[in-house]
Amino acid sequence: MSLRDVFAQNPDRRYIMFGGKGGLGKTTFSAATAYWLARQGKKTLVFSVDPQASLSDIFQKDIFGKGPVKIVDNLWAQEIDADNHIKEYQKEIRQKILDMYGFEKVPDEVEDYIASASAEPAMEESAIFDAVVDIVVKGDYDYYIYDLVPLGHALYYLSMAKVYDEWINKITKLREEMREYETMVSRIKREKETEEDQILTELQYIKGRINTSSGILTSKTKTAFFFVIVPEEMIIMDTAKATGLFSKFDVPILGYVVNRVLPDNLLTQGVPVYLQNRLTMQKKYINEINATFGSRVLAQVPELERDVTGIQMIARLSEIMYGS
């Protein structure tokens, strides 16, 4: 089966993720896939949460932190600015505190807490996760191409949904128990029933967003995950381990794409011994990839003579991956 076949046979899989170790070609594959889908008449968004990746460089447009930017017909690209998202999140928290408690000004001790919480190492990841939730929940596009961060961070993002869900379930249960107690006390005192619990309402709102997004990212019918791999021993081993870990999070892995494959015909062109050895070693590792991942190896992409930047090179890569 080819990459094109996967899309043809799974038309409801509208959330596409490319993952793998850093520097293997996830971002270029994401861009090429988005371009190909846009050429099929599908309204497509490709977005990146990896600060090391650069859709701006690939598309040769200033994209970072500007929301969805139109590239060509049916194709938009977006790079998430985590710092800006944290600032917007802080503003939202302040406003909710003012609305919930009727304050005219956020108390200084609360401001100090907001500032210290925003400096936590996990806050950037949380902000990015929240931004991803915003993108996928809206449903504005036919296809979402999600350029994942390197494997370790990707697993962190995928685990966050379950961690958040478990935490909110516990907090929500406590709030519901408190609400029942408060209602009982107010009735005993023949007072009016307790007003709607805004905190509980907020928790339920957050839980709904997280459940929606995690449901999309792990959906067997809506989502397709592809690993990017190159013919090198350590990459093969790491990808095999990652496959097992991702499976534990129920991520629907549809296949593997092998990148940077040197053409065999170089051996007939009198290339240096060094390159001959690389080709021999590559053949060994491609055989290992095929043995390890079997029929789920969907494509081999050759090493190109230049970087994939600009629409012409993106179009060329999309033809290599999906055909004319």
Q: Which of 6-15, 54-63, 193-202 has the lowest mean pLDDT?
A: 193-202
Provide the pLDDT for residue 195: 47
Higher pLDDT, 268 or 52: 268
Angle at 218 between CA 213 and CA 223, to 5 degrees: 95
Q: What is the dihedral of CA 186, 191, 197, 200, to 10 degrees?
A: 20
More confident residue, 49 or 12: 12
pLDDT band at 194 (very low <50, low <70, confident <90, very high): very low
Strands 75-79 and 69-72: antiparallel
Residue 187 has pLDDT above 60, yes or no: no
Encoded tokens for 277: 């050895």
pTM, entire model: 0.81
Q: Answer whether residue 185 shows pLDDT above 80.
A: no
**Mean pLDDT along residues 268-276:** 85
Tell me the per-residue pLDDT of 42-99, one tens digit each, with 9 for 90 and over. Answer: 999 999 876 665 899 999 999 988 999 999 999 999 998 877 877 887 888 788 778 8
Handedness of CA 310, 311, 313, 317 (dihedral sign): positive
Give the model confidence (pLDDT) of 86-143 as tens digits.
788 788 878 877 887 788 888 888 788 777 766 665 566 666 777 777 888 788 999 9
CB 118 within 8 A of CB 106: no
One-letter amino acid identity for 19? G
Length of the chain measured in residues:
324
Start-end ranges of CATH 3.40.50.300 in the chain?
A: 3-84+123-153+219-322
CATH architecture of 3-84+123-153+219-322: 3-Layer(aba) Sandwich (3.40)
pLDDT in tens, 214-265: 677 778 899 899 999 999 999 999 999 989 888 887 888 999 999 999 988 8
pLDDT digits (tens, 9 = 90+) for 144-174: 998 876 666 566 666 666 666 676 677 667 7
